[in-house]
């Protein structure tokens, strides 16, 4: 059985990855997560509750900034792969707490790369972000595009993480694959993210904040497609360092997203117009040619289907009708 360490494994993407890997019966999973207060820690506790019953699952409540604490994770297990998803997330909050973002996302990543070096871990998967592209006039965004002009501290820390991965791959022979996630959504999505936040406010009859005129565009990627890409990366061996986009390769305008939510929820949204926010990019759009070629990545959940699945989960969590699918 493979021993896999997943940081941030109690969060949205991480907990889905854990579920997927445990279901194979072929992996022992160790999760590191600090259950911080960026959003209600009870949400993460609920994510991991069924996983705690699995004999192949072990959880450490540790902050990745604390290297001595992290070292205890390696005391009795030799890991085949580390999937690093732990981070302070979000563009706008990073403008308010840039030092915290640098400490967690840069120093924390350094701690994990150092531990990978010290303990001979040869496979390191890094969760990066489409935000590294900044205001990129060339679309779709390709991995070869420049990322020298990030426009938020969060984006800058993710770009720094990619560079650190390259350094450790070059110096110490650690295979590092950096995955640039494009606006991931689906069941268990963080409550601060647009789709979840909008669905809650629309249901409560409260106005939703719309920054700008609603024409910003995002490449929304359903969680199952992202997990398929991460799974393929865990087994990737063709080269020692890669940066790979994981997106849907379709852009959706904010106004269209709101309309889809209104239609699926059966309720009209109240719009609270606000000015554009510093750090927000006008669009994201993934070129996934490389992911298809190297990982066999093939996203298949269009936004219309994905929103339906999300709303089914959301209603079930809110005490409404249960989802039509298990």
Residue 55's contacts (CB-CB under 8 Å, 6 or more residues apart) are none
Triad 134, 135, 139: Cα angle to 5°: 105
Q: How far apart are CA 314 and CA 188, in angstroms?
A: 9
- Cβ burial of 78 (10 Å; 0-12, 13-18, 19+) is exposed
Please say whether the beta carbons of 131 and 108 come within 8 A.
no
ω into 140 cis (within 30 of 0):
yes
Beta-carbon neighbour count of residue 308 at 10 Å? 16
Residue 40, number of CB atoms within 10 A of its CB: 11
Question: Rounded CA gap, 143 and 212, in Å?
Answer: 28
Whole-number Å distance between alpha carbons of 35 and 231: 24
Tokens describing residue 200: 């809650």
- What is the SS3 assignment for 35? coil
Give the whole-angstrom CA distance, residue 242 versus residue 165: 10
Task: Determine which one of 57, 154, 220, 297 is catalytic.
Answer: 154
Helix segments in the chain, DSSP class H: 12-24, 41-48, 67-71, 91-96, 98-102, 108-118, 153-172, 194-203, 223-234, 254-265, 289-295, 303-317
Q: Is 154 a catalytic residue?
A: yes
3-state DSSP call for residue 64? coil
Distances (CA, A) of 49 to 8, 44, 314: 15, 9, 18
Among all residues, which ones are annotated catalytic? Answer: 154
């Amino acid at each position: 059985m493979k021993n896999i360490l997943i940081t941030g494994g109690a969060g949205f993407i991480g907990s889905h990855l854990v579920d997927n890997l445990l279901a194979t019966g072929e992996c022992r999973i160790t999760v590191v997560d600090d259950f911080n207060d960026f959003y209600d820690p009870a949400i993460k506790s609920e994510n991991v509750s069924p996983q705690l019953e699995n004999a192949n699952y072990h959880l450490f409540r540790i902050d990745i900034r604390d290297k001595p604490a992290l070292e205890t994770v390696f005391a009795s297990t030799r890991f085949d792969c580390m999937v690093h998803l732990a981070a302070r997330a979000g563009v706008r909050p990073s403008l308010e707490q840039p030092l915290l973002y640098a400490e967690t996302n840069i120093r924390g990543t350094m701690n994990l790369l150092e531990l990978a070096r010290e303990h001979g871990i040869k496979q390191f998967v890094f969760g990066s972000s489409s935000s590294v592209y900044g205001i990129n006039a060339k679309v779709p965004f390709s991995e070869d595009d420049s990322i020298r002009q990030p426009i938020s501290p969060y984006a800058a820390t993710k770009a720094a993480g990619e560079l650190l991965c390259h350094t450790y791959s070059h110096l110490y022979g650690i295979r590092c694959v950096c995955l640039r996630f494009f606006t991931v959504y689906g069941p268990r999505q963080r409550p601060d993210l647009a789709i979840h936040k909008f669905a809650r406010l629309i249901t409560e009859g409260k106005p939703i904040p719309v920054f700008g005129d609603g024409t910003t565009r995002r490449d929304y990627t359903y969680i199952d497609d992202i997990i398929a890409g991460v799974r393929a990366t865990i087994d990737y061996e063709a080269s020692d360092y890669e940066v790979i986009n994981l997106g849907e390769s379709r852009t959706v305008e904010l106004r269209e997203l709101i309309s889809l939510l209104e239609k699926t929820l059966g309720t009209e949204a109240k719009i609270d117009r606000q000015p554009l926010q510093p750090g927000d990019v006008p669009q994201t759009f993934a070129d996934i040619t490389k992911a298809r070629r190297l990982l066999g990545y093939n996203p298949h959940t269009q936004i219309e289907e994905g929103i339906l699945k999300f709303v089914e989960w959301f209603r079930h969590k809110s005490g409404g009708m249960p989802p039509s699918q298990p």
